[in-house]
Structure 1
Amino acid sequence: MYCRWSVIFLLLVQTGLKSIAQQTNSIGIRLVDVPAGTFNRGSNRGKEDADESPVHAVTITNGFKMSATEITNKQYEAFDPAHSKLRGKNGFSLQDDEAVTFVNYEEAVAFCAWLSRREGKPYRLPTEAEWEYACRAGTTTDYSTGDELPASYQKLQHTNRTPVPVSLRVAQTAPNSWGLYDMHGNVEEWCHDWYGAYTAGTQKDPVGRQSGLSRVTRGGSHNTPVRFLRSANRQGMLPEDKHWLTGFRVVQGVMPGTKATIAEPAPANSVQVSQQKYIWKKVTQPLFDAPIVYVRKPDSSSGTPFYAHNHCPAITWCPNGDLLVAWFSTNAESGREMVILASRLRAGKKAWDTASMFFSVPDRNVTGTSLIYDQKGILYHINGLEAAGDWQNLAMIMRTSTNNGSTWSKPVLIAPEHTKRHQVIAGSIITREGWLVQLCDADPGPRGGTAIHISKDKGMHWTTPYSLPITPIYNNGSVGGLIAGIHASVVQLKDGRYLALGRNDNIKSDSLGERMPMSISNDGGATWQYAPSVFPPISSGQRLVLRRLNEGPLLLVSFTHSAGKSGIEGMDFTKPDGTKYKGYGMYAALSFDEGKTWPIKKLLTDNVMRHLEGGAWTGPFTMDTTHSEPKGYLAATQSPDNVIHLISSNLYYRFTLAWLQLP
């Protein structure tokens, strides 16, 4: 429904009497009058765009002026001349009249405050409602141009793993009917609001939530699929983040006096969390529990996004006796719909909670999650954060909890550059010096290797100790700056060296053929020397676990052969009577001499036939005497009672060292 002024304006346009009220301020910002009125905010697309629902009527009670274009480099640098050094970063936004990028939320707000003082008039960021209202300019279609965005408005409207530079020059296509340029694309634009779910019912001048993790961005950008450029599409960014996709435009006008909506309620994994310290009783007898599902679909009424592909998990124990698991849920691993969900196995319970939200930045890919408890009161959550979709150009965030995950600190960008070598892998370790070590995939390619990140002060500062930046050729005896293989896992040996095993980058052994690569560092991760391990290589859909057990031995959990490959099939295992048999699937191996030998190798099955669902890339499989889970992304923790807790992409296993040592 159009407001009175909207109808009059559209009639003027149709009769050729278009006359847009504009003025230009002292730094060249053209301002366009946006009249008061009412519009329907949102869409009913559902599924990946469910956050645009419900559609609801919003009234903007007072007109305001909005910059006709996004703020340009020249205009922004009148405020911050030092920003000129970021011109052309990653190939974007070099010229005076291109939209400014690499500006975070606080910097955009500071620009508005500076401009207000300079002009003697109130400048600010638009509210999310004001932005969509101005973008629609009286229309109800997907775009202000109709249900399709004409080709002339589009740049590179698809996800590029390596972003392709394009011109971000403003006002190169026709404005909408209210005189605003580049509302669909060019660059995303910061809005005032904290991101949060819409509420139903008619609203006046909404200003978003009282608090949140992300601030809203709107409009979509270059190197972005066109559907993210729709008038109703909602995106978000951490306020401290900045990259080549996002800039901003300004509003001249007093901020609405509306009271912000209360913050969204805590997710189920943070509710009714016991704060009583758990008394762990050592389990010394053999134990192997039948695997159970931990990825449990939430009820649709909960509002929790839950997609078809649930994968890439992390696990930790908590001091209250709970286990906490987190993983990504998405329809495509390169999808922007991806969220991090979590589940809790509460102390004394036999079933995991249903999945609930753990971490999300709207319309950003968040591949890679790690959880660890430092045994001194702090839980750490480390996660990747893309600028867009895909999983190559990730920043790294960290959150901490001192109350068993009941609440978490504000996300901190511990590696703020969106670049390679930041795809977080589950399996953080605390070294004997008390340092926090986090591994990350270095490159999404098949020979990408794994990078190491180290914090010596509880995550406040991080270093990347590798001294050889070029990816080496992972040959036997060669030396490089990265761990051989992606999705690697690392342990610290008793003499201080690091030992790591990874996937791909296989190395030939004279007697065994291709083997899983083993990497050893004598200098704190700065360089690594490579050799073939005794283990068969793994590949797509498989991720190993390597960790030191409380009792001292090293534990490896991996797979007997590469998924989907027929060159090497199965491994030899020993029956109690000493005879050999061929086993297939997930196995555990133990080393009692710091990885020199691995005398115990055991298939992870209790010899009972079961038909199980492995989820993700694994799917259904049969476990029996000679077969265990064939693939999956593994993560593990060992609680103080010495029980080993292992998860694959969908299943949770419990067993003990005593069980592994049984014949």
Structure 2
Amino acid sequence: MNWIRITFLAGLLTQTAFSQTTNSLGITLADIPAGKFYMGSEGEGENADENPVHRVTVSKPFRMAITEITNAQFEAFDPSHKKFRGKDGFSKEDDEAVVFVSYRDATAFCEWLGKKEGKKYRLPTEAEWEYACRAGTVTDFSTGRFLSKAHLKSQKTDREQVIVSLKVGQAEANKFGLYDLHGNVEEWCSDWYGAYSAGEQKDPVGRISGLYRVTRGGSHGTPLTYLRSSNRMAMIPEDKHFQLGFRIVEGDLPVTKPLPAEPATFVYQNVSQKPFSWKKVSDTKPIFMEPIRYVNKPECTDEVPFFQHNHCPAITWCPNGDLLAAWFSTNQESGREMTILASRLRAGQQNWDKPSEFFNVPDRNMTGTSLFDDGKGTLYHMNGVETDGDWKNLAMVLRTSKDNGATWSIPSMADPEHQVRNQVIAGMSQTKEGWLVQAGDADPGPVGGTAIHVSKDGGKTWENPYPGKETPDFKEGRSGGLIAGIHAGVVQLKDGSLFALGRNNNIEAQEGSGFRMPASISKDMGKTWNYAASEFPPIAGGQRLILFRLNEGPLLVISFTHHPEETDEKKIGMTFKDSKGNSYKGYGMYAALSYDEGKTWPVKKLLTDKKERYLNGGAWTGAFEMDEKNAEPRGYLALTQSPDNLIHLISSSIHYRFNLNWLTAD
């Protein structure tokens, strides 16, 4: 065997020979020599997981496929996979990289090929992958500071996918003779994702366990920064999509002892398991407590990935008396740095904990979080997971907890298809049949409606009652398979039908009377919906409503009187009544109650205790003044009502607490 001979000098690699072999399946493998390299980068912010740079020894040579596994090669193992050719428009030809393969699919291929040839095939470790990619370089790319034009395949985040060829081996090889390590498709590695360990290492194999498997290399439809040699990505092992494939190595897996599993973040620590005694507040005097912040900037953002934009919250009560809130933190909503943070208001405490990371599939957009306590000891967490940085094509992932959120089940794919209709909205609910209902935006834009997903077996399986692809015409009297308006709130009425309110797709109640928030009714559990104008004013950007059935029975709506950016010289608001029965104009967030299943809403109240105070709603809201006639002007709302009947409402940064008696008091 003629191994490639290399000399390391001042970080440079000099190639003096070259050796490759081709196996029985036509896979060409390059001989990769043992050696040393610097792994990682001095990344900050979203790239902090590339720290610290550390010296790694790859002590034994191995062989690596010079290209990603192709359709033809994978289908020799699994002929049924041919049905994925051309899905989402990608990878139709024999010599294009195979995509739509899970981690288990990739490892099963390696096992099959190994038995077929009597050799040991496997996925590369993350260290082997970066070592082979760098091929002696320390620059961003194995080609230096820049990539050649041949490597570039729509290297930006594409909401509308740009179809490109995934044919392997079209750009120049690196100095080890390997192709497509910068782009084309991401590649599975064998490691569980976790933080690096400092110090010089030999044959590292990652963590002993985790939630995500490492992927490397970036892909088409991906900004250049994610194609760097050091960039780290990961995916839920069961996930598969149009940007992800794999390549193989031949050789024994290093026998290095893996690093321990990463420690739990603060939100999972010291969680009491003592049942809480809830004392009802329904029959007490009206309660409206001082608004407090639940999104608090951590003292050290290096330890918590706390970004500029914190938004899109969810909240639930826990059996131990805690409140648990989660939200996304990001620099831009269409960003891969997005992570889900969480905080607790622990039983008996007056302030929310510092935030910590709750859920994050690395380098993916994580738009949309939902939390729910079923009242029987199980917490549910549903989240969107994108392939890239946009929020159009999301899969839905579910976790459950039976210990107050101290530990959670392994993420399962509630809907494995990365597609529209899966942008999770806070507000999972349970029907009288015991079925779980989860709403998800049906379009990434400002209009397009809301889909629902239903589980009849406690979250084990989910179905979309409306499998059609067309978007209905949201006009009064028409029917269609989606709720009118995005960010919808959904409740079940006493007759078993579903009732929903949404943002945009507004409906004119009577000609010339102006547009109102759309209301949707389904009598077949979400297969079809009928639309009509509600009596509520429409809302728009930076605003998300609440529709909720209170423990005491009434339906509760919380929304906004108008949108701040839509006001002209004359300020828009709603008419309310004070304690003396006098009418006045109020502005901002209000609550409405219905005692007849949404037919009428006789109680409407501005959400303020009339005290003058300065508040900051964060996200798109920013600073505002609350007083007798002004409440929070906008925000994304989420709500839970604890067993003591106290209502907990959160906007993008603020926690409000009140009871039904306060809503109905003069």
Is TM more than 0.5 here?
yes
CA shift at 1:612, angstroms?
A: 0.7
Alignment of 1:413-432 (within 5 A): 413-432=413-432
Over residues 162-211 of structure 1, what are the superposed CA-to-partner deviations in whole Å (9 max), with x where a residue is unaligned? 22211111111110011111110011000000000111111110000011
CA distance in 1: counterparts of 2:502 and 2:361, whole angstroms: 29
Q: For the Cα contact (< 8 Å) 2:592–2:605, is it kept in 1?
A: yes
Distance 1:216 1:468 in 2: 35
CA–CA distance in 1 between the matches of 2:470 and 2:184? 34
Aligned mates of 1:339, 1:96 — CA distance in 2: 37
- Give the structure-1-normalised TM-score: 0.97
Give the Cα separation in 2 of the matches to 1:201 and 1:341.
29
**Mean Cα displacement is larger for which, 189-198 or 146-155?**
146-155
> Which moved further from structure 2: 73-82 or 126-135?
73-82
Report the counterpart of residue 88 of structure 2 in structure 1.
90
- Could you tell me which residue of structure 1 aligns to residue 102 of structure 2? 104
Judged with a 3 Å threshold, the aligned counterparts in structure 2 of structure 1 residues 660 and 10 are, in CA distance, closer, same or farther, namely closer
Structure 2 counterpart of 1:158: 156
| Equivalent position of 1:589 in the other structure | 592
Residue 331 (str. 1) matches residue 325 (str. 2) = no
Do the aligned partners of residues 10 and 315 (structure 1) sit closer, same or farther apart at CA in structure 2, a change above 3 Å counting? closer
In the TM superposition, residue 446 of structure 1 has moved relative to its aligned partner by 2.5
Q: Which residue of 2 aligns with 1:611?
A: 614
Superposition CA RMSD, Å = 1.5
Name the aligned partner's letter for residue 565 of structure 1.
Answer: E
Q: What corresponds to 1:78 in structure 2? A: 76
Q: Does 1:345 align with 2:348?
A: no
1:38 corresponds to which residue?
36
The Cα of 1:303 is off from its aligned counterpart by 1.9
* Residue number among 129, 151, 158 corresponding to 1:131 in the alignment: 129
| Equivalent-residue separation in structure 1 for 2:461 and 2:181 (angstroms) | 39
Letter in 1 for 2:164: V
d(CA) in 1 for partners of 2:8 and 2:582? 87
Whole-angstrom CA distance in 2 between matches of 1:584 and 1:522: 35
What is the correspondence of 1:113-192 to structure 2 with a 5 Å cutoff?
Answer: 113-192=111-190
Q: Report the CA distance shift for 1:302/1:231 in structure 2 as closer, same or farther (over 3 A).
A: closer
Aligned counterpart in structure 2 of residue 272 of structure 1, from 255, 270, 273: 270
Contact 2:150 2:170 in 1 (8 A): no
Shift of 1:466: 2.2
| 1:593/1:605 CA distance change after superposition, 3 Å | same
Q: How do 1:379-458 and structure 2 match up within 5 A?
A: 379-458=379-458
User: SS in structure 2 opposite 1:71?
Assistant: coil
* Aligned amino acid, residue 521 of structure 1: S
Question: Where do 5+ consecutive residues of structure 2 fail to align?
Answer: none
More displaced, 155-164 or 565-574? 565-574
Q: For residue 302 of structure 1, report the CA deviation from its aligned partner.
A: 6.5
Q: Secondary structure at the match of 1:19?
A: coil
Shift of residue 12, structure 1, vs aligned partner? 5.5
2:64 partner SS: strand
Structure 2 match to 1:306 = 306
Amino acid in the other structure paired with 1:389: G
* Contact 1:41/1:56 (<8 A) preserved: yes
How far the C-alpha of 1:512 sits from its partner, in A, is 4.2
Deviations 1:492-546 (A, max 9, x none): 1111111110100111122742110011111111111111111100000000001
Q: Give the letter aligned to residue 550 of structure 2.
A: L
**How far off is 1:11 after superposition?**
7.1
Q: Distance in 2 between matches of 1:150 and 1:306?
A: 35
* One of 48, 51, 55 as aligned partner of 1:50: 48
**Cα separation, 2, equivalents of 1:471 and 1:322:** 40
Return closer, same or farther for 1:84/1:467 CA change in 2, 3 Å cut-off. Answer: closer
Task: Say whether residues 1:494 and 2:497 are aligned partners.
Answer: no
Secondary structure (helix, strand or coil) at the match of 1:7 reads strand
The counterpart of 2:196, out of the listed 198, 203, 215, is: 198
Superposition pairs of residues 227-376 of structure 1, within 5 angstroms: 227-283=225-281, 284-300=284-300, 303-376=303-376
Counterpart of 1:33, as a letter, is D
**Cα offsets for 1:359-392 (capped at 9, x unmatched):** 1100011100000000111100001110111101
Stretches of 4+ moved more than 3 A in 1?
A: 6-13
* C-alpha contact 1:103 1:246 (8 A) present in aligned 2: yes
Letter in 2 for 1:163: Q
Q: Secondary structure at the match of 2:130?
A: helix
Asked if the contact 2:133–2:142 (Cα under 8 Å) also holds between the matched residues in 1, the reply is yes
Counterpart-to-counterpart distance in 2, 1:88 and 1:58 = 40
Pair 1:598-2:601 in alignment: yes
The 3-state SS of whatever aligns with 1:288 is: coil
CA distance in 2 between counterparts of 1:239 and 1:631 reads 38
Deviations 1:588-634 (A, max 9, x none): 11111111111111111111111111000000111111101000000
1:212 aligns with 2:210: yes
Q: Describe the shift of the 1:12–1:600 C-alpha distance in structure 2 as closer, same or farther (beyond 3 A).
A: closer
- State the secondary structure of the residue aligned to 2:340: strand
The separation in 2 between residues aligned to 1:148 and 1:292, in whole angstroms, is: 49
Alignment match, 1:624: 627
Contact 2:7 2:14 in 1 (8 A): no
Q: Distance in 1 between matches of 2:301 and 2:338?
A: 19
1:58-90 per-position Cα deviation (integer Å, ceiling 9, x unaligned): 111111111111111111111111111111111
How far 1:410 sits from its partner (Å)? 0.1
TM-superposed CA distance for 1:10, in Å, is: 6.9
- How far 1:154 sits from its partner (Å)? 0.7
